[in-house]
């Protein structure tokens, strides 16, 4: 148990550092802004209690907001993913793979299940993030 906590703390640290120092400064295009820190919430063990996932989602969002000076934008985008994570897993993956627990992966969920789960979580996060970033629904079709 302690080993797993240390592994996830390191994953959190690595993703935050990558986001702040690499991906935030990477300009691929006006419409392409990689937000890799959401992988921390996506890759939490399936059996993690929903309140813990929400707490970690809040922590992730606040840390990213402080590091990037985003005034709540990352928190606002990360919390819906944390809140709906269980539903996303149930909707995109087979019941057996979700009940078995473990870390969401290609091995555990299958290629299509894992890809559907990751895409659904990233689309939800990006939809909230970029809609709130523009502070208008005028450009909704571009998100």
For the whole model, what pTM was predicted? 0.86
The number of folded domains in the chain is 1
Report pLDDT for 137: 61
Separation of alpha carbons 83 and 14, rounded Å:
23
Q: What is the distance between the alpha carbons of residues 69 and 81, in angstroms, rounded to a whole number?
A: 21
The per-residue pLDDT for range 82-131, each reduced to its tens digit, is 999 999 999 998 777 777 778 898 988 889 999 999 999 999 999 999 88
From CA 89, how far away is CA 98, in angstroms rounded? 7
What lies within 8 Å, CB to CB, of 30 at 6+ separation is none
Question: What span, in angstroms and rounded, lies between the C-alpha atoms of 131 and 21?
Answer: 24
pLDDT at 79: 97
Domain containing 7 equals: 2-142
Q: Give 56-80 as a 3 state SS string.
A: HHHHHHHHHHHHHCCCCHHHHHHHH
What tens digit of pLDDT does each residue of 126-136 get?
999 988 887 76
Average pLDDT, the chain: 89
36-63 pLDDT, tens digit per residue, is 999 999 999 999 999 999 999 999 999 9
The pLDDT value recorded for residue 2 is: 85
């Amino acid at each position: 148990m302690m080993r797993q906590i240390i592994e996830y703390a390191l994953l959190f640290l690595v993703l935050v550092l990558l986001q702040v120092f690499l991906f935030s400064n990477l300009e691929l295009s006006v419409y392409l802004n990689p937000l890799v820190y959401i992988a921390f919430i996506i890759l939490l063990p399936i059996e993690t209690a929903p309140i813990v996932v929400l707490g970690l989602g809040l922590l992730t969002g606040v840390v990213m907001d402080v590091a990037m000076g985003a005034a709540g934008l990352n928190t606002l985008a990360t919390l819906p993913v944390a809140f709906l994570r269980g539903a996303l897993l149930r909707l995109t993956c087979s019941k057996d793979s979700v009940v078995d627990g473990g870390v969401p992966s290609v091995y555990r969920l299958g290629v299509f299940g894992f890809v559907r789960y990751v895409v659904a979580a990233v689309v939800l996060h990006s939809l909230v993030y970029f809609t709130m970033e523009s502070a208008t629904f005028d450009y909704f079709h571009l998100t």
